[in-house]
Amino acid sequence: MDDTITAYLGRLAERTAAPAGGATAAMNAAQAAALLAMTARYCDGPMHAGHAEAIGKIIAEADQLRHTCVALMAADGESYTTVIAAYHLPKDTEELRVTRAAAIGIQASVWVTATSGHRQNSSTAPSFADRKWNIRNRRVSSQETAK
């Protein structure tokens, strides 16, 4: 997304279908991944040289997850807009209702397909939580800064 934060939040506050919850969730996940990558980059000095490989993996995975989440934000908005457009098709006659229902089903299927590919690519997210990293940097550790 190339919008500024202010412009994005303005669009989010409007009475529109997108961006909405999906894009917001992806934005939060992207921010979390960015913070993880930033924190890992603080651990790239000589004090943590023994963990360089693990730190490199964390940075690479967090950066990839951030990019995937940004792509998911765009895919969610673009795809869901077509679903909403299908809901606005006329439904005055039985024939129009059948056409409208088919269009809604097709567009919803396109939306699920467009976003599921990105969700599958972001399946590494839980792996961060499942791993125990014995790497600590007192500059970014809340336990140390609280002392």
Alpha carbon 61 to its chain's center: 14
pLDDT at 127: 58
Domain-wise residue ranges, the chain: 5-142
Token pair belonging to 96: 């129009």
Average pLDDT, the chain: 79
- For the cut 80, the answer to whether the pLDDT of residue 143 exceeds it is no
pLDDT score of 115: 62
Query: Which pLDDT score is estimated for 29?
Result: 92
Whole-structure pTM value: 0.66
What pLDDT is attached to residue 62? Answer: 93
For residue 7, give both structure tokens.
């412009």
pLDDT at 102: 84
Question: What tens digit of pLDDT does each residue of 63-110 get?
Answer: 999 999 888 888 887 777 777 888 888 899 999 888 888 887 877 776
Average pLDDT over residues 111-122: 59
Does the structure show a pLDDT above 50 at 145?
A: no
pLDDT tops 70 at residue 132: no
End-to-end CA distance of the chain: 40
Measuring CA to CA, how many Å separate 88 from each of 73, 76, 82?
A: 23, 19, 10
